[in-house]
Structure 1
């Protein structure tokens, strides 16, 4: 049909044929429309958008962007809008890059006064069109508008949000804040320069963007992101915030981050690999200068510190910080240090760390960081220990030294004799020694070591207690040294295979470079030949796969693999060799694949043929010989046929298509294969006709006793002819008429009847009167799917009796695409006596874009209606929110005696309101919250924080605040959440009064403040105001001091908090419960401020405040910061405090013993 369409402009005969088809039945009209892909006659496509067939209309709308000129496309948009079908067409025009049509469409809509969804289409226009219609869209935006603007025009969205922020001095309204939270990451990713202005505005008002937005901004503008942090010290930093962008930072910005928050740069070792030499030096110097900020971050930097004194100072600080509470540093951390510092830390762990004194196994691990002689001396008593596990650990530590010092080759010559001297050790000790050798880097091994390694292997094989684990380690040792002397290693591989019966890892190629493969080629070939002669096909195949394409570096090995493939009697081995050759020796594979496939076929290896074809690279066409092999397997009609056809369909569909006629002629029963009848259903409908009438099929896969009714994908029947649809419909109809059929089959049959696009629907409509309820109801449910609305009269008749409860829901789909006037006239005749019917009629009226439908809704509102119908009425009026009668209906709902009606006001889409209607909705929502029923209030309150009402007059916000005095905890919690999320700085000036009114109800007050304290209070200025207001209220009653402490910590800077705590302590307000709150507060303070807070509290005259100073010191000395001499001195002073409340707590703090000063702690 597409080709006919291409000929139509120049061929009158073709145009006549297509004209005749376009005047035929629905299926012929669809065929004629397909020709428009080649003809592109916009007038014919536009005419088809009003066709009676839904399939034809859908295809026409798909063709509009392709075939219609601008005027025709605009007319099609108008038609689509009338039937609520414009969204798909708008997206099609965007994909076709025809946004100019959308501009014209918007220009037309702009002349109408009330277009509820006008804003939805604005972001799809051209940039000029967006800017032209933006003011009207912003007067009544929607969630879809914001989402599309973020996707299609993030730069313009940034301008809008910037303007909204600049229009107010402080925090914006809650709707703008929600938009910023949702869309700022998208803006930062797509329009980073515009995002910078937004970040600046937000941070200047103490509103913190979230981590996702920072992540995207840093990726695109890392330097500017650092500048933002420099200008706004309160802005939060995150771990690895700049890690991916570190190499693009200027040296100045990089150094600033190192000095202030090095964790933002990620792992120090990784960072160094991304920097230039000059930047690396600057980073090292900056970290040394500010080592107290993050002393445990820079271990890999220590090796680059050139100045001896500076290095000593920084190392001492790092060492203290890296220790855990027992003074221990993990071994893996120490390996990043230079050798001399490693040795110092090893000595400290071996000789000074008290906690390790009773843990010899853990302690001796650190000996591997020493020199050989020193480690040997330190481990001497353990190397001869009577317990094997202790000896093994000691030997493993000692033997690990050559691997950690690869630049000292003489260490290997000392380690290997030690292993040989202990050849009679028990197996666990042997395994520990072998495990240590295997971990050595390959570069420490030399050719002269192979003799000793051979003796070690021989000793292991001679041991009667050799375990599988030790044998595996011995083999691994051989593989790691193989490349140093292949002529030595090859016999040893054979020996291991002979004496142990198996090899754990035959993938030799993974351990060899290309040069090593060339050098070891004779030995590798010898190993392969030996395995081939002994029919060790598995190891040989593993060797081939590990070498991959490098097999060609071993002369004779490719030929050996091919000969083994062609001679082996084992199908799995032959398949593996063939797959290797296909991947790594393509020329050889293609030259031999024909003979190989024939051999596979002759030996009955049919599944191997299928597997080989399926394993071929998807991007490479299947070799003709493989296609031929698959065809022969399929034509055998054996159990492999379905698999062969499946692979053929996915990998060579043209061959599959050509095979099907022969296959069906050879055996019609293959139609039962899903891959066959599904393909015919979608692509070769002309072969399908003989099987549509449920015939009795003869063949290899059929008994010939019953007819077959095939099941097809119900979404593809539009590809069939009218005759095929009718034929299959009659067969399915006979099945549905069978009274003995099971229910699931009957339901499938009824649904299939409705899906047959071009079939007569008389049989389906007749089922609406079926005596079987399940069949009747299913038929009514699916009747609306009839392509040309054939079921609408039957559905309307069903509305007059008990079937109405099912039929009414089908009408929605049946009316889809009908002109609104036609739908309205049909609905006018529907009786409203049943609640179910009346509800759906009201909903349908609300979706009709004609004035008469709105008038009908208002008329219905004046009648006595069931509650459910009235609720449907509220929903139906959503498209008419700018009309005064709508708000009269809503006002009556708020005051209705039934609270359920009032509660439904919270469902009104507030994102589509103008400023005037927003005020009305806010006032009504406030009245809902004033109702006496808690059920009416709670759902609205729980959603209040995120409702898109701007609430300019704050009526809704005031109503939320009034609910803080509720006796219901859930309501108080939701009310406080709404207040916090919806308020700005001016709103929260009233917070103190609200909380003061609630203060007598301790429970309500606590519930409300827990909502506040669960937030990151310092992320917004308004949250901090709320916390300060709460603290002011709580200060009036000493019994509320615990909550006061938490609120003060949330609102105040650390030093200001210290002043507040000192003042409270001196006023006697830090009682036991308040001190408990102080302890949790200290755990949340920034570590960089702990010392200053401690210093202020230490000089307080309040023992309670000094007790808090103890907790500050303990946290400041936690792992990552450590017990420095200065902190130990401060601890001693606190331990000597005159108050037992302070000194008792300080004396219960236990730094590592080796760090504790020798000063005597006074007793009480």
Structure 2
């Protein structure tokens, strides 16, 4: 390949679009390693302006000369610098990449470079970078890089990272090194006997699921340690562990009985579990395996299924309503009877009713027993014949017919319809009794004169029968049923639709018969109700029906009934080709119809379901559409074609013709070409612009030129006067483009467009939004000269002046920085200072510091931003300047900005002197800002200092200074080893402000371990006289899941002990005791409270609420303990326990009825009165309602 001279290359590149220019550079880069001429021309290009330097840099994708890439990282152009840093991981060797990282660190842009190195698998460079970074002073984010290194590098620097970690460190460690993260958590848990520090708890909750997914073996030990300390792992972490180690997860639950097993957590893992594990889960928490019916389909091993069935039978009282689907699998008759009786009681609602759909899944004999019970024994259904009759469908035919006899002859049609449907459903529910169909069909035929609602109910019942009950000999009766329906003058649309569905369900039994009747239905009803006919019929069935279907289709075509014809071919789908002659008929009808929508629909169906014929006729079809002026239909047809297939050439040609017509459909045609045939679109575009330049106004045209064909764009960039179909030729057009893509243009194009936009901005008559758009566009023109934009800061229009100042920093090569610095000397400084932040991005810190040194600080806005910028500079000089400014008399807002600027210097002693003065300052607003200090990057020393500092803030007299810090205290990442901050939080429990007391308790609970909470009883005792503060604090405690952590339970027990000293606090005591104690201990507490007179009316109401939260498996034991108490109040709570134990899902068993009768006979009206107001289903009790049957 001949390498051109530099001048020739520049001329060549100016005629190419962006993609072609890049390809040219890639070719030259490929030649450069071996061709001196290529190297020379690229060297010349890299010495040109920013536009040429950026092009020369593209060659490095193939040349990969790390020296040049490294040099480009300091280019004055932000675009060139960004591209160079992107190329480092690809083109630079290890020493060069390390040098690039050092440079990136200085200007705070190492994040993207690190990610690029990780993406290229070059973590070795990051190891070297960490070694260098470890030698630098004042690096606050060292830990952020450690997880990105190799495993060896991560372990080497892990201890230093852990001495000053950050949220980003933990997040990256979880993503890149979950095994090492698990080791860190394990070490921290092993270092303490109880709960870990609050920071570790925060990250355990956040990342335990990730560890369980990526390092399950390590996660197992973490789960074991947490559960052994009565700390419940996050529920979201269990599914990951179960998916990776299901048997080990079961073992964890077996060892730790207090652990909560999440619902459905073992549903997917169940097929892989051992039989003994399945048995244990069914006995302990069957809902953890998901629904029993779905579980049956997943358990393929006979032993597994048997284990589940046996376990449920043995522990049916745990979840009696769970295993309904298992009743069919129980082989032992006595066990089946016992389990069924228990299930039946549990499945009933408060009136003793079980919904019909649930009963249909039962074995046949049990289904019949339940049906008889509902029809004859359930008292609540005695006055509801419509609800009661539905259960008759579960009986044998004769018994059901006798039960429904009165309702089948009911004068109201809706009642008759429900009764008839119930009787006819029997044949479908008993598919193994073929004789039922022979009884049902004559029964239907005998009622041919029924009104339409009854007819619809009968047809619906027949449609719901399973297909396997139908036989060929039934088709004659079905045909008579269809004939009777068609002969009825009141046949409704719904009934006709059901008749069609009935035919389709029986079609396969006699295809010839079905074809005849399908034709009859189509003919007499004039339409097809089911638009998925092809899905219901097989290929052979469609072939059998082909002749009648074609005959009907021809008749419709002859009568020009295009709508039904379209529905027919659409419903047949791919099987329309099996109806010989139908495709030809469709094509013929399409070519004759005068309705454009119908022609389009038929063509679309043909394209989707008979593509070979579509291919052969599309040319003629498109020509006809075009000749008739159906241009929008051509566009619609193109848009409806399969997206993964290229457009047919004739369709592409049709779109081109529509586009060239330059009418209202042209834009749609161009859009279709752009999306579906880019080659044709590119081929058409030059011709279209030459034919009529006014099409440049189409967004699809000028956007495409802007992104892909910049070589065609130049004539339209100088706001020329356009003539053509869409232009008047009176004014020039200044087109608007996406501001993020101007780097694709040449420098000449940017200059040309900049000059045109500049004219708009200078026009004093233009509206403000247009002028603002112009200013933003000038700043976005990557390669354009910026002198005109900079001059606008002196514009007489305030809006122009302000907007220019705000966008000057966007100039690619920093051309706006001198202007912004000049504006800092006058009233424009308040706006100019904000622009400098972006302008300084990527600039060496020493240069930024020198520029900021000359900025006047007389204006508060300017001073604040200068302080912020100094805080972001990684420079010793910047820190020294901050300390120097601290000695001046600064405005409060500047002082607050100073606090923020010192965040990266928290390991320096002078910083803490500044922060301590802020904590004691008279201005509480400034003191409150100390709570914003990021506590996730602290060493032990700085953590201790910050904890003490925050404690001093909480000691301030202003509540406004305390409340925000207290509300965030629970999640602040300070370890607070000396507990100064924790003590300060506890001191606020006695606050007169409710929200402060709540926040203080929240902070105490989240930040404390077991040792810390030994002091809580004394704290609460000091607050007990302030009932309002006490209530606010304890309500905060009770809002948590207390049993999820041992420390929470310890806190609740401490509160219970304090509350037990005053009977007036009994309601709160009941709630605290329930939150901390196991059920039987709670029952003992209630007995004690009753015997000491503490269970007064308010306390009883609290007990009633607590009963609703007790585990169902413990209700009977709690009730038994309370029932024998000498305290009538405790026995009253036993009544509520019994009611909860007998709720739907558990039911009124004979044993519970006996216990109810005992309570109803209690000597105390407080107990017996409440018990006698409990009403089980009437059929379960004697007429007096107090003794079980």
- Normalised to the residue count of structure 2, the TM-score between the two structures is 0.96
User: What is the CA-CA distance between 1:630 and the residue it aligns to?
Assistant: 1.9
515-524 or 700-709: bigger deviation = 515-524
Contact between 1:1128 and 1:1157, CA under 8 Å: does it hold in 2?
Answer: no
Q: Which residue number corresponds to residue 398 of structure 1?
A: 423
Give the secondary-structure state (helix, strand or coil) at the position aligned to 1:703. strand
Q: Which residue number corresponds to residue 426 of structure 1?
A: 451
Contact between 1:506 and 1:539, CA under 8 Å: does it hold in 2?
Answer: no
1:417-816 correspondence to structure 2 within 5 Å? 417-816=442-841
Contact between 2:696 and 2:702, CA under 8 Å: does it hold in 1?
Answer: yes
Contact between 2:28 and 2:38, CA under 8 Å: does it hold in 1?
Answer: yes
Give the secondary-structure state (helix, strand or coil) at the position aligned to 1:419. helix
Q: Which residue number corresponds to residue 80 of structure 1?
A: 104
CA distance in 2, matches of 1:561, 1:399: 42
1:56 aligns with 2:73: no
Of 240, 244, 258, the residue aligned with 1:216 is 240
For these two proteins, the number of residue pairs brought into alignment is: 1162
Evaluate the alpha carbon distance shift between residue 561 and residue 280 of structure 1 in structure 2; reply closer, same or farther with a 3 A threshold: farther
Residues 942-994 of structure 1 deviation map (CA, whole Å, 9 limit, x = unaligned):
00001010111100000000000000001001000000111111110001000
CA distance in 1, matches of 2:551, 2:1044: 71
Q: Which residue number corresponds to residue 97 of structure 1?
A: 121
48-57 or 489-498: bigger deviation = 489-498
Residues 662-717 of structure 1 deviation map (CA, whole Å, 9 limit, x = unaligned):
11111111111111111111111111000001111111111212111000011111
Residues 12-57 of structure 1 deviation map (CA, whole Å, 9 limit, x = unaligned):
2222211111111111111111111121111111000000111111
Of 398, 405, 428, the residue aligned with 1:380 is 405
CA distance in 2, matches of 1:589, 1:474: 34
Of 304, 310, 320, the residue aligned with 1:295 is 320
1:368 aligns with 2:375: no
User: What is the CA-CA distance between 1:527 and the residue it aligns to?
Assistant: 4.1
Contact between 2:1120 and 2:1134, CA under 8 Å: does it hold in 1?
Answer: yes
User: What is the CA-CA distance between 1:159 and the residue it aligns to?
Assistant: 1.2
CA distance in 1, matches of 2:884, 2:137: 23
User: What is the CA-CA distance between 1:500 and the residue it aligns to?
Assistant: 3.8
637-646 or 901-910: bigger deviation = 637-646
Give the secondary-structure state (helix, strand or coil) at the position aligned to 1:1149. coil
User: What is the CA-CA distance between 1:318 and the residue it aligns to?
Assistant: 0.5
CA distance in 2, matches of 1:319, 1:530: 59
Structure 1: runs of 5+ lacking an equivalent: none
Evaluate the alpha carbon distance shift between residue 544 and residue 220 of structure 1 in structure 2; reply closer, same or farther with a 3 A threshold: farther
Contact between 1:509 and 1:543, CA under 8 Å: does it hold in 2?
Answer: no
CA distance in 2, matches of 1:479, 1:1105: 66
1:174 aligns with 2:198: yes
CA distance in 2, matches of 1:222, 1:319: 33
Give the secondary-structure state (helix, strand or coil) at the position aligned to 2:140. coil
Contact between 1:483 and 1:520, CA under 8 Å: does it hold in 2?
Answer: no
Of 159, 163, 175, the residue aligned with 1:151 is 175
Q: Which residue number corresponds to residue 134 of structure 1?
A: 158
CA distance in 1, matches of 2:492, 2:571: 26
Structure 2: runs of 5+ lacking an equivalent: 1-24
Residues 90-129 of structure 1 deviation map (CA, whole Å, 9 limit, x = unaligned):
1111111111111111111011243101011111111111
CA distance in 1, matches of 2:284, 2:548: 59
User: What is the CA-CA distance between 1:432 and the residue it aligns to?
Assistant: 1.8
Give the secondary-structure state (helix, strand or coil) at the position aligned to 1:697. strand
CA distance in 2, matches of 1:535, 1:993: 93
User: What is the CA-CA distance between 1:1011 and the residue it aligns to?
Assistant: 0.5
User: What is the CA-CA distance between 1:180 and the residue it aligns to?
Assistant: 0.7
User: What is the CA-CA distance between 1:599 and the residue it aligns to?
Assistant: 3.2
User: What is the CA-CA distance between 1:410 and the residue it aligns to?
Assistant: 1.8
Q: Which residue number corresponds to residue 894 of structure 1?
A: 919
Residues 315-335 of structure 1 deviation map (CA, whole Å, 9 limit, x = unaligned):
101000000000000111101
Residues 293-320 of structure 1 deviation map (CA, whole Å, 9 limit, x = unaligned):
1111111111111111111111101000
User: What is the CA-CA distance between 1:590 and the residue it aligns to?
Assistant: 3.3
Contact between 2:396 and 2:426, CA under 8 Å: does it hold in 1?
Answer: yes
Give the secondary-structure state (helix, strand or coil) at the position aligned to 2:728. coil
User: What is the CA-CA distance between 1:1160 and the residue it aligns to?
Assistant: 6.7
Evaluate the alpha carbon distance shift between residue 1158 and residue 962 of structure 1 in structure 2; reply closer, same or farther with a 3 A threshold: same
Give the secondary-structure state (helix, strand or coil) at the position aligned to 2:61. helix
Q: Which residue number corresponds to residue 56 of structure 2?
A: 32
878-887 or 473-482: bigger deviation = 473-482
Q: Which residue number corresponds to residue 1053 of structure 1?
A: 1078
Residues 570-616 of structure 1 deviation map (CA, whole Å, 9 limit, x = unaligned):
43333334333433444444344333333333333322322232223
304-313 or 689-698: bigger deviation = 304-313
Q: Which residue number corresponds to residue 874 of structure 1?
A: 899
User: What is the CA-CA distance between 1:535 and the residue it aligns to?
Assistant: 3.6
Give the secondary-structure state (helix, strand or coil) at the position aligned to 1:105. helix
Of 972, 985, 1006, the residue aligned with 1:960 is 985
User: What is the CA-CA distance between 1:494 and the residue it aligns to?
Assistant: 4.2
User: What is the CA-CA distance between 1:536 and the residue it aligns to?
Assistant: 3.7
| RMSD (CA atoms) | 1.6
Q: Which residue number corresponds to residue 819 of structure 1?
A: 844
CA distance in 2, matches of 1:1160, 1:704: 97
Contact between 2:530 and 2:571, CA under 8 Å: does it hold in 1?
Answer: no
Contact between 1:486 and 1:523, CA under 8 Å: does it hold in 2?
Answer: no
Q: Which residue number corresponds to residue 187 of structure 2?
A: 163
Q: Which residue number corresponds to residue 249 of structure 1?
A: 273
- Normalised to the residue count of structure 1, the TM-score between the two structures is 0.98
User: What is the CA-CA distance between 1:340 and the residue it aligns to?
Assistant: 0.8
Q: Which residue number corresponds to residue 1105 of structure 1?
A: 1130
CA distance in 2, matches of 1:11, 1:292: 86
676-685 or 522-531: bigger deviation = 522-531
Of 871, 874, 877, the residue aligned with 1:846 is 871
Q: Which residue number corresponds to residue 9 of structure 1?
A: 33
Q: Which residue number corresponds to residue 10 of structure 2?
A: none
Give the secondary-structure state (helix, strand or coil) at the position aligned to 1:753. helix
Contact between 2:515 and 2:544, CA under 8 Å: does it hold in 1?
Answer: no
1:1024 aligns with 2:1049: yes
CA distance in 2, matches of 1:542, 1:94: 57
Give the secondary-structure state (helix, strand or coil) at the position aligned to 1:459. helix
141-150 or 628-637: bigger deviation = 628-637
CA distance in 1, matches of 2:561, 2:125: 72
Contact between 1:82 and 1:820, CA under 8 Å: does it hold in 2?
Answer: yes
User: What is the CA-CA distance between 1:793 and the residue it aligns to?
Assistant: 1.0
CA distance in 2, matches of 1:230, 1:829: 71
